[in-house]
Structure 1
């Protein structure tokens, strides 16, 4: 047997319509097979809380893996945030190795099997309805932002009691003007003298940018316009990452078909597709084709999709970057998001910010610990801060004027982690997306 595969990781399609996928006995056998291999390796011990929980179970068993109760597997599954770092960066036994380990997708399979048996977490499902929640939040943004503020001693304890959302966890704020609305009202002027003139791209707004932080989308449009790129903005629906986390694969497939039907006509017209948040780029590029492998449209869309930082770097390499960038005073502590790393494209955010003259970067390549809807739940939030403490410490010690993360949720979580360890020192009050810093360097 090889001690690890020398080939790049390969992911197999998810056969989620096969009855065996949710068969509890066959799932249990596969869980034991994989967990036994993980227990013998332990290379992922410091990535997240899933692996310490697993290893503690095995260590407490009188007969190693054979003595671990199947009902105890759930605590391991519940701690997985589907960050994909074990698969992409640590595990030596991923396909094409004969052990054929895909730990995150096994956790996903377990959640799908739970759902098939009627075991559903209603609160997580409600939190995952990002479009409904975003529309409601936009209509009543002043009231909603007051209610979700972690400083609100009236609503947040009530939210914790009723919905299980930790009262101390930062939650995204809502905007009355969505990115789609702003895009209809103002189109940046295209720089026809720019090296990248002639490129055309559709910005897939994503639920987060559309409802919670339109500034990321506005910055992206302005940077691209400065570089000669004509853009359109579309937001048919959420990419389905929250539903994926909950094991609701059929719902993800439904959303994938809806979004692809809206974006594909633009691809046919020669437009590239740019996702503004790395989790959404990961879904379009990798997860959707694994969920719907026979769908030619999904495959074509995945091949036309870029992450926003990846796209700007591609312009710089192929065409040259438009002039006008000025140094950012004080430097940047840059967190590389897990779902950027899972795209296997390199540190594109760092490459992009190094286009800025006199770039001063402290790059942090480690999980923030947030994990989407998982990280805000009561019982998880403190664990999420613990997992992300090394990131918060590195960001604090870097002493830079700016903090940035490609993942807006991770960025806010890092800020909270830095506040916990500041010990009287100044801590960052906000995190920004790297594309916002590039726009600032352009004076936009």
Structure 2
């Protein structure tokens, strides 16, 4: 339902899940919206390799207390949640120092609260969209954060306290209860216990984005594919975009361009501490359905997620720092496959899995950047990191409300450009 009459002409740059969610809420607010995407369809870059995880229980910063020790120890392991690339640059080293400083307990707690505000809000909005449009994007309920030993289980206590503060529903399970809830763990090795999050766990992000695209077309949103935006510049009271040698003018522009954001925003004087972290997924066809998990799973030790998406299993994780190319790192693959074989060894054809890697843009504090840039009518919805889909709808609704001049339904503190002021 459109709540207001058309107010502005708005160009959204980026056809990933962030851009499409933003376009949805802007169209719902009554704006004329055009989505500009360099690929031939939506969801063909980072969204294509999305982990599938939707649970608010996964929306925690990677830079947690103990991060320095974990990264250093992982350097000498054959499998590790983090990979340091040999082409390590001074600029990235400066960024990593800043990133690891954010793992200090109070900073970690602050950023978790900020991310959880978005994730919980997103869950509510997703439920509304799901019910209103009756869409099916292979969604499933429930996420298990599995622990391999008692030490890992005990280490969850601070996170449990923090999640309770944030109002995230969860329950601590012992080994027997975890196996009873997820029978596919029958062939798993050590299951010391788990945290169980009963709300929506996972889904097909690419399918969701394409279904939302169809809804947007019904709302009159225009899509411009195979269109590359090379520059954004103020143009009187409006904003001009250079697209393949031609100029397009709009009342406002939303930059939801993922890894390309820093380059696009730099000429506007916006120098954000944004770095692209390389992440990996492995997708395998289910061969034994009784041995495949019905719940989404997060491995506490290796920070690898596992989601059932229709007849496939998707593993996602491993952060590679310093990578400039799209080569597949052997250490990353070993980590993904180890997690798969440890928990669900007979579930899928893991040896014939298809592998994907892509760049995830992330700020040092890992909190998304939403709203006005301070430059004319240029807005951003970027830097959602590895928990992007779980925060996408909330971030996009907040952005649309800002552009529409409406009050925000969630506290914006720590989510806007003001934190760099």
TM value normalised by structure 2: 0.26
Q: Which has the higher strand share?
A: 2
Q: Which has the larger Rg?
A: 1
Q: Which has the higher contact order (CA 8 A, sep 6+)?
A: 2
TM value normalised by structure 1: 0.25
